[in-house]
Structure 1
Amino acid sequence: MIIEEIQGNINSSDLKAPHIERVFMKSDDLLKRVLRVKTDHGNEMGIRLKKKKELKDGDILYQDEKNMIIITTIKDDVLTITPDSLQQMGEIAHQIGNRHTPAQFEENSMIVQYDYLLENLLGELGVSFKREKRQMKEAFRHIGHSHE
């Protein structure tokens, strides 16, 4: 089976199916348009999206009256950073930006993929953070940039 378009998202609809199969994916794979995946029931399928669209947690790959196949993202190893002040946020954002580390923001927290060097830096600077496994709603996106 080749999936060429997303049928919707289970998180934004009232759709229910008596039988749900899941495709577990790393958040990095959500950025890919062409993939070969296997469901938790062992069924293999290809994903080849016609439109340039990023996959998201909960996307419905297939659906009929009895079955639904959805994407479930695997938890990422991340650092959740919670600065104590706006100045501290600016300083750590500057440091992270210099490293070209992609970040996501939720409420008063900055979330980055785990990096032991960044963990050491945060400790040295006295910035509040915790390392955790977290299911991200979107993939960490690297922004192309060069220092020319």
Structure 2
Amino acid sequence: MIIEKILGNLHQQPDAYASHHKEKVVLPSTLLVKRIQRVTTDHGKELGIRLPAGTGDLRDGDILAIDQHNIIVVSVLPTDVLVIKARTIHEMGVVAHSLGNRHLQAQFFDGSSEYGAEVMVCQYDHTVEDYLKSVGVPYDRQERVMPVPFRHAEHSH
């Protein structure tokens, strides 16, 4: 089976498919950015994903296929991340600048998010953890399913 479009997202309409049998394509977040790939469901079914150019990244809960009784959805593995909880805007600016110089991707969340505070989240890196310890910025190391994948920043000097 070739998947050429995303049919919706299970998280946006959870009750609509409550009676369907759910089959999962379990992916690490690094593969969410690939438009063309071969995947296998947790039931051993092989699928090809070939999304058109301009299609957004895959996300947790994306519906790949559906019939009267079954639904195939993307299930994203948790990512090892650092949740950085700067105490002031100055502290956040200094940390963000330092991480930007390393070309690390970060995602920002406000107090109404699942984090319950204004935080910056980046993929785990031991050098970043060492830096945060050295400057005394509070952080937690967590496993999280991120709403969007971290994407390598293209750049040139």
TM-score (norm 1): 0.95
In structure 2, the residue matched to 1:11 is 11
Question: Which has the larger displacement, 117-126 or 42-51?
Answer: 42-51
Q: Distance in 2 between matches of 1:51 and 1:87?
A: 39
In structure 2, the residue matched to 1:49 is 51
- Is the Cα–Cα contact under 8 Å of residues 5 and 51 in structure 1 kept in the other structure? no
State yes or no: 1:34 paired with 2:36. yes
State yes or no: 1:77 paired with 2:80. yes
In structure 1, the residue matched to 2:145 is 135
Cα distance per residue 1:70-114 (max 9 Å; x no partner) = 001000000000001111000000000000000011111100000
Question: Which has the larger displacement, 29-38 or 9-18?
Answer: 9-18
RMSD (CA atoms): 1.0
In structure 2, the residue matched to 1:2 is 2
- Is the Cα–Cα contact under 8 Å of residues 62 and 68 in structure 1 kept in the other structure? yes
Out of 39, 43, 59, which is 2:62 matched to? 59
Indicate the SS of the match to 1:23. Answer: strand
Q: Distance in 2 between matches of 1:88 and 1:44?
A: 48
Out of 141, 149, 156, which is 1:146 matched to? 156
Give the ranges of 4+ consecutive aligned residues of structure 1 lying more than 2 Å apart after TM superposition. none
Cα distance per residue 1:46-81 (max 9 Å; x no partner) = 101124211111100000110000001000000000
Counterpart AA for 2:145? Q
TM-score (norm 2): 0.90
Q: Distance in 2 between matches of 1:76 and 1:25?
A: 11
In structure 2, the residue matched to 1:117 is 127
- Is the Cα–Cα contact under 8 Å of residues 77 and 133 in structure 1 kept in the other structure? yes
Instruction: List runs of 5+ in structure 2 lacking aligned partners.
Output: 111-117
Question: Which has the larger displacement, 85-94 or 13-22?
Answer: 13-22
State yes or no: 1:100 paired with 2:103. yes
Out of 87, 90, 97, which is 1:87 matched to? 90
Q: Distance in 2 between matches of 1:29 and 1:103?
A: 18
